[in-house]
């Protein structure tokens, strides 16, 4: 049985963990009795809607109250509101020593190793194209993709392009405070006169750029499967060797766009919500991913173990269905 199959099977055994017990560590300075960072974030996230004046508003649950997102967008620049992002559990560079920052250091490390390669294992082809996806809605893939992008942007030698590729919902853009009418990916695919550089947004995180979803289009699937998209992927991957491109993708079982995007990727981070995502949905979704892809599984909202030296996540990496290895992830993801 493959490592990924074992991880999928573990989802049905309860306890919210993958059963991978090899990795232990000291959670110094961390409140082990509280709910996980990402569990809290997911519970507080609520929904993001557009107000009549065009501003994004985060609709938080009762007891927290709503607040208006204050990210500012001008020309090709967006100033991210770190306080807003931190309030809903997303990693920000303003608190580099937080628990969630440590967790994403662990998530990103094997991804970056796959990009660089070493003497024993060559780098993965287009390994700097990383898609974050899930089987269904609500598993935490958008929170995971944003935090992962910010975490990689905090590296000394990497720049990051975050792509809101869930073009139907553009949830990442709403969370980041980017107006829905901001040109982006779909506009580049639809109009050959629009260059990628025309729509990329710089941010107040020095090494982070954002490519918004762009115009909502009825033929988004055809555009994402087009030769123009393939050329764009090659350009993204090869033009800047130090750049990592993180895609927030639609759920694999809800749209055909996700499968199309997966065909371009070098690595895929697959987010599963513990005790929530059905095992059959995970198995079915993985079948939508090509055999040649490096797939990492992140178990989200896992319950804490009674032993404080165990971390609350499991992550499994497999190269296709043949070459596989297992890795335990320390922490939570959203």
Structure tokens at 202: 């710089």
Strands 243-248 and 129-134: parallel
The token pair that represents 27 in the structure block: 């959670």
Whether the model clears a pTM of 0.85, i.e. scores above it, the answer is: no
Edge-first strand order for the sheet with 294-300 is: 72-74, 77-79, 201-203, 208-211, 159-164, 243-248, 129-134, 267-273, 294-300, 315-319, 323-327
Contact 318, 300 (CB under 8 A): no
Separation CA 277–CA 185 (nearest Å): 29
**How far, in Å, CA of 149 to CA of 129, rounded?**
12
Listed in sequence order, the residues at least 6 apart from 239 whose beta carbon sits closer than 8 Å to its beta carbon are none
- Angle, CA of 178, 181 and 182, to the nearest 5°: 55
- Rounded Cα distance between 275 and 294, Å, is 25
pLDDT in tens, 221-232: 899 999 999 999
The position carrying tokens 């853009």 is 173
Q: Are 129 and 265 in contact (CB under 8 A)?
A: yes
Which tokens in the block code for residue 118? 């070493």
Residue with tokens 């198995």: 283
- 175's enclosing H/E stretch is helix 171-175
3-class SS string, 49-106: EECCCCCEEEECCCCCCCEECCCEEECCEEECCHHHHHHCCCCCCCCCCCHHHHHHHH
Look-up of token digits 């990210």: 71
Six-digit token pair at 85?
Answer: 């992002």
139 φ/ψ sector (left φ>0, alpha ψ -120 to 50, else beta): alpha
pLDDT on residue 92: 96
Q: What angle do CA 241, 243, 245 make, to 5 degrees?
A: 125
Which tens digit of pLDDT belongs to each residue from 41-75? Answer: 333 333 333 333 333 333 322 323 333 455 666 78
Question: 132 and 247 in contact (C-beta within 8 Å)?
Answer: yes
Burial state string for 242-268 with b = 16 or more CB within 10 A and e = fewer than 16: ebbbbbbbbbbbbbebbbbbbbbbbbb
Residues 293 and 262: beta-carbon distance below 8 Å? yes
- Residues with pLDDT less than 70, the chain: 1-73, 303-334
All structural domains of the chain:
3-327 (3.40.50.300)
**Is the separation of the CB atoms in 255 and 168 below 8 Å?**
yes
Q: Pairing relation of β-strands 201-203 and 208-211?
A: antiparallel
């Amino acid at each position: 049985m493959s490592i990924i199959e074992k991880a999928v099977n573990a989802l049905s055994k309860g306890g919210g963990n993958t059963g991978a017990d090899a990795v232990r560590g000291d959670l110094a300075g961390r409140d082990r009795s509280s709910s996980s960072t990402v569990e809290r974030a997911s519970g507080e996230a609520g929904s993001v809607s557009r107000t009549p004046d065009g501003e994004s508003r985060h609709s938080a649950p009762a007891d927290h109250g709503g607040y208006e997102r204050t990210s500012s967008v001008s020309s090709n620049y967006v100033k991210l509101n770190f306080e807003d992002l931190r309030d809903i559990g997303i990693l920000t560079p303003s608190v580099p020593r937080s628990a969630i920052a440590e967790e994403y250091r662990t998530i990103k490390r094997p991804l970056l190793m796959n990009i660089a390669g070493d003497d024993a294992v060559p780098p993965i082809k287009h390994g700097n194209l990383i898609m974050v996806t899930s089987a269904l809605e609500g598993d935490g893939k958008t929170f995971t993709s944003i935090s992962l992008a910010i975490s990689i942007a905090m590296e000394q030698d990497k720049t990051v392009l975050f792509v809101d590729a869930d073009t139907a919902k553009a949830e990442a853009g709403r969370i980041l405070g980017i107006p829905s009418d901001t040109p982006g990916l779909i506009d580049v695919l639809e109009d050959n006169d629009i260059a990628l550089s025309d729509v990329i947004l710089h941010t107040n995180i020095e090494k982070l750029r954002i490519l918004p979803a762009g115009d909502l289009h009825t033929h988004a699937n055809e555009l994402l499967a087009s030769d123009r998209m393939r050329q764009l992927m090659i350009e993204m991957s090869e033009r800047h060797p130090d750049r990592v491109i993180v895609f927030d993708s639609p759920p694999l079982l809800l749209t055909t766009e996700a499968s199309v995007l997966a065909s371009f990727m070098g690595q895929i981070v697959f987010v599963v919500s513990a005790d929530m995502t059905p095992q059959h949905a995970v198995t079915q979704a993985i079948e939508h991913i090509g055999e040649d892809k490096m797939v990492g599984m992140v178990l989200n909202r896992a319950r804490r173990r009674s032993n404080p030296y165990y971390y609350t996540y499991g992550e499994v990496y497999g190269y296709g269905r043949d070459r596989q290895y297992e890795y335990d992830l320390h922490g939570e993801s959203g």
